[in-house]
């Protein structure tokens, strides 16, 4: 059972996120992932986040698959033209990666190689369209594929856009993303549930799945930094104060995140927790928010089996105890 | 217009260090408008060169000319006779001007005095902004006459990236988010519906590009 099946089941979704390191060190990352196993429905792997050169998303996603975790392969348009993007998607599929998140990507000038050539041959919308096309068995040029993937594509939206025009355009773009094939949305980090509720009301008619973004606050300084530098993130002053005055930063951070998770339960279809280095604390957040493990599909020790339906190339994932002749989620 | 800026004086001087007779040629078109290669700039550069070489005891003969457009053969031909008296031509035109002169005057080297920067317009006095990327596939009809290809740091054609703060671009912080400008303009025009619908990725042109006008090239 993977993310797609969890989404179809209608349960409250939980995804988390890991960021590969600069280098080949994967032990810590896999340790963190191991702690998330069975507690979340999928784990996103960022694609050179903040335009900083590091280990790639595809390789780490593949490692997660090997560890029985369903990854969400984040793909940005910053570094690859349409040839490389499509090829990487096909490569990801044969490595067992099933979910893709389409993003425009940060500009290289914001990262550690500011002189790198920005590509942006496609954008997040046309990349979704390319994914849909690959799923249909064709590349962007209309050539037929020998063996097609069946990705579950998603996208992002920023409900915290700081003025009416910017927010309106986020929603217009969200509609385009749905038209281009996005099946779910993960949002930028949210701290103000009232604003988020207003946003969800506005996109209600789009009938799509939204996972509200939750960022673990590590300190008051981090909150202030984000307010100043990260578009769409606004941490209200009372929360900053709470972080400032607390004696136990972890406890307070977990409490704040858990409150947000609880608050989102009635507003959207799931949460996407960005722990930014505090991945080990994600299970504490889920526990405090009252998301019991029984609510979450067990993917522990899951293995992949081919679907028995004729002509279907999909696979399904069940734990060894449940092993039986079965069909993929299509059936 | 084509916007260009004058190269640092030291760089210009260095490229001329082996020459004693220089003809500076200005251009009466775009670079006159953006105040980088017109009559006034030719005069200033000529006098700066003469003074600086004189101080060093290495005097130089500097000629000054201005033609209406350096990118047009018939105007370049106007300087052919005069150019024969010099060892080198220093063009104060854009890259097209420099190359047009080089094409027409084969036996004298042509050096650029300007860095050609972009196709733009003046938005404030003394400030120029890139507004056209010459992409060869104009979509201004869909964007309220404001170009996201040239004016968005990521050339996004399906809407903004979501990184703007207070309506300003997150990458190029002194510039407004072009999608904010497009939105504001479409509101004024009551044409917000233009934002809907997916724009296809652009077809990329292969350099060098060539435009052929069949009506002008075909034999009568």
Contact A121, A132 (CB under 8 A): no
Q: Are residues A87 and A198 in the same domain?
A: yes
Q: How far is CA A119 from CA A42, A51, A175, B52, B138, in A?
A: 29, 12, 24, 44, 20
- Given an 8 Å threshold on Cβ–Cβ distance, is A166 in contact with B162? yes
Q: What is the DSSP letter of B199?
A: P
Residue of B nearest to A158 (CA): B162
Of B162, B197, B198, the CB nearest to A232: B162
The pLDDT of residue A76: 98
Q: Are residues A233 and A276 in the same domain?
A: yes
Q: Are residues B77 and B29 in the same domain?
A: yes
Contact A261, A283 (CB under 8 A): no
Which CATH number does the domain housing residue B104 bear? 3.40.50.2300
Is there a domain that residue B144 lies in? yes
Q: Are residues A54 and A100 in the same domain?
A: yes
Burial of A275 (0-12, 13-18, 19+ CB in 10 A): buried
Question: A317 forms bridges with which residues in the sheet?
Answer: A304
- Given an 8 Å threshold on Cβ–Cβ distance, is A173 in contact with B159? yes
Q: Which of A104, A189, A309 is nearest to B157 (CA)?
A: A104
The pLDDT of residue A330: 40
The pLDDT of residue A296: 47
Is a pLDDT exceeding 90 seen at residue B159? yes
B160 Cβ under 8 Å from any chain A Cβ: yes
Give the pLDDT mean for A5-26: 94
**Rounded to a whole number, what is the distance in Å from the CA of B186 to chain A's nearest CA?**
11
- Say how far apart CA A318 and CA B218 lie, in whole Å: 71
Q: Which residue has the higher pLDDT, A299 or B7?
A: B7
The pLDDT of residue A188: 95
- Given an 8 Å threshold on Cβ–Cβ distance, is B153 in contact with A107? yes
Q: Are residues B160 and B192 in the same domain?
A: yes
**Rounded to a whole number, what is the distance in Å from the CA of B198 to chain A's nearest CA?**
6
For an interface test with B, the pick among A166, A176, A190 (most B C-beta atoms closer than 10 Å) comes out as A166
Is there a domain that residue B128 lies in? no
Q: Are residues A258 and A319 in the same domain?
A: no
pLDDT for B31-89, tens place per residue? 999 999 999 999 999 999 999 999 999 999 999 999 999 999 999 999 999 999 999 99
Ranges assigned E (strand) in A55-151:
71-76, 99-103
Q: Are residues B201 and B153 in the same domain?
A: yes
The residue written with tokens 């698959």 in the block is A65
A22-26, A123-127, A293-297, B195-199: which range is least confident on average? Answer: A293-297
Contact A38, A296 (CB under 8 A): yes
pLDDT for B98-157, tens place per residue? 999 999 999 999 999 999 999 999 988 889 999 999 999 999 999 999 999 999 999 999
pTM check: above 0.90:
no
Which CATH number does the domain housing residue A135 bear? 3.20.20.220
Ranges assigned E (strand) in B19-112:
21-27, 61-67, 88-91, 110-112
Instruction: Find the domain containing A325 and state its range.
Output: 301-331
Q: Which residues of A touch B186 (CB under 8 A)?
A: none
Burial A300-314 (b: 16+ CB within 10 A, else e): eebeebebeeeeeeb
pLDDT for A219-241, tens place per residue? 999 999 999 988 889 999 999 99
Q: Are residues A225 and A101 in the same domain?
A: yes
Q: Are residues B113 and B149 in the same domain?
A: no
- Say how far apart CA A70 and CA A79 lie, in whole Å: 24
The pLDDT of residue A312: 56
Q: Are residues B78 and B107 in the same domain?
A: yes
- Given an 8 Å threshold on Cβ–Cβ distance, is B154 in contact with A173? no
Is a pLDDT exceeding 70 seen at residue A130? yes
Question: A180 forms bridges with which residues in the sheet?
Answer: none
- Given an 8 Å threshold on Cβ–Cβ distance, is A107 in contact with B171? yes
Residue of B nearest to A105 (CA): B161
Give the pLDDT mean for B93-100: 98
Q: Are residues B140 and B65 in the same domain?
A: no
Last residue of a domain, one of B87, B117, B147: B117
Q: Are residues B108 and B143 in the same domain?
A: no
Residue of A nearest to B166 (CA): A162
Last residue of a domain, one of B63, B87, B117: B117
Tally of domains in chain A: 2
Is there a domain that residue B126 lies in? no
Q: What are phi and psi of A7, to 5 degrees?
A: -65, -45
Is a pLDDT exceeding 90 seen at residue A308? no
- Say how far apart CA A126 and CA A104 lie, in whole Å: 10
A158 Cβ under 8 Å from any chain B Cβ: yes
Q: Which residues of A touch B155 (CB under 8 A)?
A: 120
Question: B110 forms bridges with which residues in the sheet?
Answer: B89
A157 Cβ under 8 Å from any chain B Cβ: yes
Is a pLDDT exceeding 80 seen at residue B23? yes
Mean pLDDT of chain A: 89
- Given an 8 Å threshold on Cβ–Cβ distance, is A173 in contact with B177? no
Q: How far is CA B207 from CA A126, A279, B154, B204, in A?
A: 24, 48, 21, 9
Contact A63, A90 (CB under 8 A): no
Is there a domain that residue B123 lies in? no
Banded model confidence at residue A307, pLDDT cuts 50, 70, 90: low
Q: Are residues A84 and A183 in the same domain?
A: yes
Is a pLDDT exceeding 80 seen at residue B96? yes
Contact A120, B156 (CB under 8 A): yes
Q: What is the DSSP letter of A77?
A: S
The pLDDT of residue A294: 44
Tally of domains in chain B: 2
- Say how far apart CA B156 and CA A224 lie, in whole Å: 29
- Say how far apart CA A296 and CA A69 lie, in whole Å: 13
- Say how far apart CA A269 and CA A207 lie, in whole Å: 11
Is there a domain that residue B129 lies in? no
Q: Any residues with CB less than 8 A from the CB of A149 and at least 6 apart, and which?
A: A89, A90, A93, A134, A135
Q: Are residues B63 and B21 in the same domain?
A: yes
Banded model confidence at residue B220, pLDDT cuts 50, 70, 90: low
Of A129, A140, A161, the CB nearest to B198: A129
Banded model confidence at residue B205, pLDDT cuts 50, 70, 90: confident
Banded model confidence at residue A183, pLDDT cuts 50, 70, 90: very high
Helix (H) / strand (E) containing B189: helix B178-189
Q: Are residues B190 and B215 in the same domain?
A: yes
The pLDDT of residue A311: 55
The pLDDT of residue A224: 95
Last residue of a domain, one of B75, B90, B117: B117
- Given an 8 Å threshold on Cβ–Cβ distance, is B195 in contact with A172? yes
Residue A219's CB is within 10 A of a number of other CB atoms, namely 14
Is a pLDDT exceeding 50 seen at residue A321? no
Q: Are residues B109 and B191 in the same domain?
A: no
Contact A177, A128 (CB under 8 A): yes
Q: Any residues with CB less than 8 A from the CB of B175 and at least 6 apart, and which?
A: B129, B151, B168, B169
- Given an 8 Å threshold on Cβ–Cβ distance, is A169 in contact with B183? yes
Q: Are residues A329 and A183 in the same domain?
A: no
SS3 (DSSP) at A60? helix
Backbone dihedral region for residue A323 (phi beyond 0: left; psi -120 to 50: alpha; all else: beta)? beta
Q: Are residues A24 and A160 in the same domain?
A: yes
Question: A237-245 vs A249-265: helix axis angle to the nearest 10?
Answer: 150
Instruction: Find the domain containing B216 and state its range.
Output: 134-220
Half-sphere exposure of B59 (CA within 13 A, CB side): 1
Q: Are residues A283 and A312 in the same domain?
A: no
Q: Are residues A221 and A153 in the same domain?
A: yes
Give the CA-trace dihedral at B76, B78, B80, B85, to 10 degrees. -120
Q: Which of A89, A99, A26 is nearest to A69 (CA)?
A: A99
Is there a domain that residue B138 lies in? yes
Q: Are residues B203 and B100 in the same domain?
A: no
Q: How far is CA B35 from CA B40, B106, B126, B127, B166, in A?
A: 8, 28, 9, 11, 33
The pLDDT of residue A277: 87
Q: What is the DSSP letter of B201?
A: P
Q: Are residues B18 and B77 in the same domain?
A: yes
Of A120, A129, A231, the CB nearest to B154: A120
Give the pLDDT mean for B176-182: 96
Q: Are residues A202 and A331 in the same domain?
A: no
**Rounded to a whole number, what is the distance in Å from the CA of A118 to chain B's nearest CA?**
8
Q: Are residues A182 and A317 in the same domain?
A: no
pLDDT for A90-117, tens place per residue? 999 999 999 999 999 999 999 999 999 9
- Say how far apart CA B147 and CA B139 lie, in whole Å: 7
């Amino acid at each position: 059972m993977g993310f797609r099946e969890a989404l179809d089941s209608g349960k409250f979704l939980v995804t988390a996120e890991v960021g590969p390191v600069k280098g080949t060190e994967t032990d810590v990352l896999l340790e963190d992932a191991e702690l998330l196993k069975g507690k979340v429905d999928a784990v996103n792997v960022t694609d050179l986040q903040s335009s900083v050169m590091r280990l790639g998303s595809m390789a780490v996603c593949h490692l997660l698959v090997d560890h029985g975790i369903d990854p969400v392969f984040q793909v940005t348009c910053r570094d690859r033209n349409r040839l490389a993007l499509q090829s990487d998607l096909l490569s990801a599929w044969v490595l067992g990666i099933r979910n893709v998140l389409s993003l425009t990507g940060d500009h290289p000038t914001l990262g550690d190689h500011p002189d790198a050539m920005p590509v942006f041959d496609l954008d997040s919308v046309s990349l979704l369209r390319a994914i849909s096309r690959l799923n249909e068995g064709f590349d962007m040029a209309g050539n037929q594929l020998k063996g097609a993937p069946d990705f579950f594509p998603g996208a992002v939206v920023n409900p915290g856009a700081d003025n009416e025009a910017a927010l309106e355009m986020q929603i217009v773009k969200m509609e385009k993303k749905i038209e281009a094939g996005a099946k779910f949305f993960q949002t930028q980090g949210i701290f103000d549930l009232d604003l988020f509720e207003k946003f969800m009301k506005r996109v209600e008619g789009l009938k799509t799945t939204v996972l509200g973004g939750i960022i673990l606050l590590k300190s008051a300084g981090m909150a202030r930094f984000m307010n100043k530098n990260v578009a769409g993130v606004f941490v209200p002053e009372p929360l900053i104060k709470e972080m400032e005055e607390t004696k136990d930063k972890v406890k307070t951070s977990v409490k704040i995140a858990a409150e947000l998770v609880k608050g989102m339960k009635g507003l959207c279809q799931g949460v996407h927790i960005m722990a930014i280095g505090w991945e080990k604390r994600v299970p504490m957040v889920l526990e405090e928010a009252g998301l019991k493990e029984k609510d979450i599909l067990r993917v522990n020790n899951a293995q992949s089996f081919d679907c028995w339906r004729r002509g279907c190339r999909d696979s399904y994932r069940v734990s060894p105890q449940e092993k039986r002749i079965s069909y993929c989620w299509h059936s | 217009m084509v916007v260009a800026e004058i190269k640092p004086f030291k760089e210009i001087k260095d490229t001329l260090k082996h020459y004693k007779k220089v003809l500076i040629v200005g251009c009466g078109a775009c670079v006159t408008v953006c105040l980088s290669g017109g009559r006034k700039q030719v005069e200033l550069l000529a006098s700066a060169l003469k003074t600086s070489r004189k101080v060093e005891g290495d005097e130089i003969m500097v000629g000054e000319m201005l033609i209406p457009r350096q990118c047009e053969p018939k105007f370049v031909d106007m300087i052919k006779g005069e150019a024969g008296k010099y060892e080198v031509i220093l063009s104060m035109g854009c890259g097209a001007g420099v190359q047009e002169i080089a094409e027409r005057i084969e036996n004298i080297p042509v050096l650029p005095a300007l860095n050609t920067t972009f196709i733009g317009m003046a938005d404030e006095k003394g400030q120029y902004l890139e507004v056209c990327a010459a992409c060869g596939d104009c979509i201004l009809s869909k964007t309220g006459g404001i170009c996201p290809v040239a004016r968005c740091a990521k050339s996004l054609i399906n809407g903004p990236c979501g990184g703007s703060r207070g309506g300003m671009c997150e990458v190029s912080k002194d510039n407004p988010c072009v999608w904010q400008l497009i939105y504001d303009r479409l509101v004024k025009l009551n044409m917000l519906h233009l934002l809907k619908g997916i724009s296809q990725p652009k077809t990329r042109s292969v350099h060098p590009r060539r435009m052929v006008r069949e009506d002008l090239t075909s034999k009568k």
